[in-house]
Amino acid sequence: MNDIYNNITAVYGDAPPEEPARQLYFIEKCRSIVEKEEKRLGRKLKKCVCTFGCQMNAHDSEKIEGMLEEMGFADSKSEENADFIIYNTCCVRENAENKVYGNLGMLKHLKKSNPELKIALCGCMMQQESVINTIKEKYSYVDLVFGTHNLYKLPELLFSCLSTGKNTFEILQEHGKIVEDLPSVRHFRYKASVNIMYGCDNFCSYCIVPYVRGRERSRRPEDILNEIKALADDGVLEVCLLGQNVNSYGKGLDCDINFAKLLRMVNDIPKIRRIRFMTSHPKDLSDELIFAMRDCEKVCPHIHLPFQAGNNDILKKMNRKYTKEDYIALTDKLKSHIPEIAITTDIMVGFPGEYDVEDTLDIIRRVRFSGAFTFIYSKRTGTPAAVMENQVEPAVVKKNFNRVLETLNPIIYEINKEKTGKTYKVLAEDYSDHDPGLLTGRLEDNTLIHFKGSGNSIGKITNVKVTDCKTFYVLGEEEV
């Protein structure tokens, strides 16, 4: 990207060079522009942050929202009423990219009716040169574009855009520093996600993530623990530790730390009541980590452990570095040490050369997953799998995908049915979108529950009796 536009340092030399002071400086500069515009319009300026993709993207959007709130933007639930729209994008599957392009097409009409509207794009899609070229050719009304490696620079880049009126593009091909202590918001009052690392070194042959998120970088344990302590002091009861592969946490740091040790440290924080984490790669799930999960009473009995496919030849082509037998032995070990554990997974169907899914079905039957993200293989340009021979015909993929669901969903239902009549601890999170007359939350094993209860219970861990079940959630009543 030789035509990156960024002249801030030259024009505004009084900006501090160090982070996060530099971005806090530009937050103040943006706030001055926002306040001036509000006086002219006689109303608050509004932002709309739209998130596509995984939990990592959702957490990134909390940081984006926090910085924009500090600049003075109020919240808008829809693009139609917003003065600043930002799409935090995903490129793991083609459908996610198509959805972004479709939404961008609709924004063109908003831009025509409101020329002052600012539109920004960030996230994983933006790390692909083909995407940037498409945006410049077909969506020239987009004002600001940046990627995953410089999300922390949103204030600086937005100030360039607002103060010059010119389109601002900055895409970094290499990750830089991990910047701490920038503003953030939480979508939930009583639970929070905490990044412990960024990037991925696994290079699964189908996956674009290492190319758009960069190589693995771990945050220092003291920064993680300080963040969680601050969250606990602010009323958070449950934290979810996030990383592309949390099991490899600690590599590259100059201290004696790994994920198992970090879990034990977080478990010792007094006000935290529940600890979750995702995602785990099977090849790095050590006995030490299993023992930490077993021993730490705050670590929830749930693990998300993607297996993707059951056939050993396919797993080798995927570069997953384990076999079907390895995966089953690993889940057996988890169950032997943590009998109540719920195991969820990712299952991909239609990888090049996968004409049948018998081994995948065998793993499903033997492990008995409590839930799964199931998806059809999506060719991602730039990955080794995209140029492999034996790309599977759509009709075969659809048939095999249906077989996976027909095997998986009854097992999930049976596991949920076994909960009927039993009482569980539930963190009451909010009123349910499923039914505004119900509360919603999750059991310790991550099962979603909608239940009858008092609004006074929101933000508390309460006893709930399961009264009925569906395939993907259970229903219940709070016990008084």
What DSSP letter does each residue of 412-438 carry, written as one string?
HHHHHHTTTT-EEEEEEEEE-SS-TTS
Instruction: Please identify, among 368, 383, 416, the residue that sits at the C-terminal boundary of a domain.
Output: 416
Here the tokens at position 424 are 């569980």
Query: Residue 209's domain is classified under what CATH number?
Result: 3.80.30.20
Distance CA 454, CA 438 (A): 9
Q: H helices within 320-434, ranges in order?
A: 324-337, 358-367, 394-417
Report phi then psi at 108, rounded to 5.
Answer: -60, -40
Q: H helices within 114-180, ranges in order?
A: 129-138, 154-164
Question: Containing H/E element for 100?
Answer: helix 94-113
Q: Residue 335 CB: number of other CB atoms within 10 A?
A: 14
Residues 285 and 406 in one domain: yes
Domain count, the chain: 3
Domain assignment present for residue 182? The answer is no
Instruction: Please identify, among 119, 135, 170, the residue that sits at the C-terminal boundary of a domain.
Output: 170
Residues 135 and 78 in one domain: yes
Q: Residue 12 CB: number of other CB atoms within 10 A?
A: 15
Residues 202 and 166 in one domain: no
Query: Residue 469's domain is classified under what CATH number?
Result: 2.40.50.140
Here the tokens at position 140 are 């020239």
Q: Looking at residue 3, what is its pLDDT?
A: 37
Instruction: Please identify, among 416, 447, 468, the residue that sits at the C-terminal boundary of a domain.
Output: 416
Q: Residue 402 CB: number of other CB atoms within 10 A?
A: 11
pLDDT means over runs of 10, the chain (480 residues)? 38 82 96 97 97 89 97 95 96 90 94 95 94 95 95 96 94 84 90 95 94 93 97 97 96 94 98 97 96 98 98 98 98 98 98 98 98 96 95 97 98 98 97 93 97 95 98 96
Domain assignment present for residue 461? The answer is yes
Residues 162 and 211 in one domain: no
Domain assignment present for residue 175? The answer is no
- Report pTM: 0.91
Residues 111 and 202 in one domain: no
Residues 257 and 398 in one domain: yes
Q: Are strands 144-146 and 197-198 parallel, antiparallel or unpaired?
A: unpaired
User: Who's near 98: CB < 8 A, 6+ residues apart?
Assistant: none
Residues 226 and 334 in one domain: yes
Distance CA 273, CA 20 (A): 30
Task: To the nearest 10°, report the CA torsion of 73, 16, 228, 224.
Answer: 130
Here the tokens at position 142 are 């987009």
Q: Which domain holds residue 46?
A: 8-170
Domain assignment present for residue 239? The answer is yes
Dihedral sign of CA atoms 147, 152, 156, 162 in order: positive
Residues 315 and 340 in one domain: yes
The answer, yes or no, to whether the previous bond of 279 is cis (omega within 30 of 0) is yes
Domain assignment present for residue 178? The answer is no
Domain assignment present for residue 305? The answer is yes
Task: To the nearest 10°, report the CA torsion of 306, 312, 313, 316.
Answer: 50
